[in-house]
Structure 1
Amino acid sequence: MDDSDSYWTAVRATRLRIADLLEELAPAEWEQESLCRGWRVRDVAGHLALVPTITTWDMVAVAPRARFSPDRINTVLARRHGSRAPAELVTAIRNSAGSRRTAKALDTRNALFDAIVHGQDIALPLTRRLPVPAEHSREGLRRVWEMGWPFHAKRHLAGFTLRATDTDWSAGDGPEIAGPALALLLLLTGRTACLDALRGDGADRLKSSSANH
């Protein structure tokens, strides 16, 4: 997936799978908490509907209210757009699934992992499956491992070897954390929901640490 056409084909497919899932949800499921802290399922959907059409001005306009914090700006916009009717959100995600743009202040290299991770933020708390091809998750792993802010995965997981068992990706040095690329991607982006899918001495340490908090 080295060329941009392949990348954006993967982004489009991921967005459309999320729209398919959202279309199946009962009204109560839209109000449930997602894996993304402080966001309901509908807020995550609002974020996904907004990303391909957002402008830098949209972000600047809410910055004072969000105290100029990028995380709070993201949350304000997600909640605002998540307040739309479910059918409207599904349609918006479908209509912009093939879009290759976003705000100039953002980075289109994040589009794939953003969609993958937020799709799981919706699916996992609802105990629904949203399959992701391992090679798509691998692209997400490569990007998140190298990007630094906001996840700082390389720093937070320093001292561990991470290895995908379903595709060709590994990084780091130390006790091993091994498992499906999707589970590792969720770990790198701060989610612990897939810890049970990970194996190795490093994974055992993480599980022990998580149980003690």
Structure 2
Amino acid sequence: MDEQTVWRHIATQRRELADVIEGLDADPRVWDTPSLCDGWTVRDVAAHLTHGTLPMPRMLFEAARSGFRFNAVVDRMARADRSTPAQIASTLRAIADSRRHPPGTSAVEPLIDLLVHGQDLCVPLGIDRPMPADAAVTAAQRVWDMGFPFRARRRYAGRRLVATDADFAVGEGREVAAPIRDLLLLLTGRQAAVAGAG
């Protein structure tokens, strides 16, 4: 997928997720629902989606506060963000067309973040959120190839992961077949996404 198409998908995902977040019940129990992202609530996931385009000085400041440990800074910022759902939705719309992304990453990483965290947020709330197949294939291939932080190739050594609804197949060994949406979730550590994949 060319970079322009990646950015178009990113902008669409941000606007659609803004609509989802804005449409959720304001009941705090909804926002405190555990997400598919281990240790995060729906609120944490929603807030995190607004952090990828923060200015570099702010990112460096936050990284320094967490000892330049990637996972620690991401986790702390998500949990500490007290933005309201309306503010989160507004921010997502405001940054929809932004092409800023964290240093050392490609344009595909924000796409991975949006596709996967969109499911992290929606699945526990019973919302069926379709995933564009071409975007999911691009994201899944990047996750397979990139190593840190998912280390998917190592975790699924001895498996051949095959999409049942898209042109995607990686790995060697015992075949695990599932829709591309589920494979992307599996590759990014959502173990329950595909039964029998372990």
Instruction: Structure 1 unaligned segments of length 5 or more: list them.
Output: 197-203, 207-213
Residues 84-135 of structure 1: CA deviation (Å, up to 9, x unaligned): 1110111101111121112335443201111000000000111111111111
Q: Secondary structure at the match of 2:6?
A: helix
Shift of the alpha carbon at 1:68? Answer: 3.2
CA distance in 2, matches of 1:142, 1:58: 30
The residue identity in structure 2 corresponding to 1:87 is A
TM-score by length of 1: 0.86
Q: Does the alignment pair 1:113 with 2:117?
A: no
Q: Secondary structure at the match of 1:193?
A: helix
More displaced stretch, 61-70 vs 107-116:
61-70
Instruction: Structure 2 unaligned segments of length 5 or more: list them.
Output: none
CA distance in 2, matches of 1:55, 1:129: 33
Tell me the number of residue pairs that the alignment of Structure 1 and Structure 2 aligns: 196
**2:6, 2:107 within 8 Å by CA — same for their partners in 1?**
no
The correspondence of residues 114-193 of structure 1 with structure 2, limited to 5 A, is 114-193=113-192
Q: Secondary structure at the match of 2:162?
A: strand
CA distance in 2, matches of 1:36, 1:86: 18
CA distance in 1, matches of 2:127, 2:197: 28
CA distance in 2, matches of 1:162, 1:195: 10
**2:35, 2:42 within 8 Å by CA — same for their partners in 1?**
yes
CA distance in 2, matches of 1:55, 1:39: 24
The residue identity in structure 1 corresponding to 2:72 is R
CA distance in 2, matches of 1:98, 1:62: 23
The correspondence of residues 16-95 of structure 1 with structure 2, limited to 5 A, is 16-27=15-26, 28-52=29-53, 54-81=54-81, 83-95=82-94
Shift of the alpha carbon at 1:139? Answer: 0.7
Runs of 4+, deviation exceeding 3 Å: none
**Structure having greater relative contact order (Cα 8 Å, sep ≥ 6):** 2
Identity %, equivalent residues: 38
**1:55, 1:104 within 8 Å by CA — same for their partners in 2?**
no
CA distance in 2, matches of 1:205, 1:10: 28
**1:162, 1:177 within 8 Å by CA — same for their partners in 2?**
yes
The residue identity in structure 1 corresponding to 2:117 is H
TM-score by length of 2: 0.92
The residue identity in structure 1 corresponding to 2:19 is D
CA distance in 1, matches of 2:161, 2:84: 40
Residues 147-194 of structure 1: CA deviation (Å, up to 9, x unaligned): 000000000000000101111010111000111001000000000232
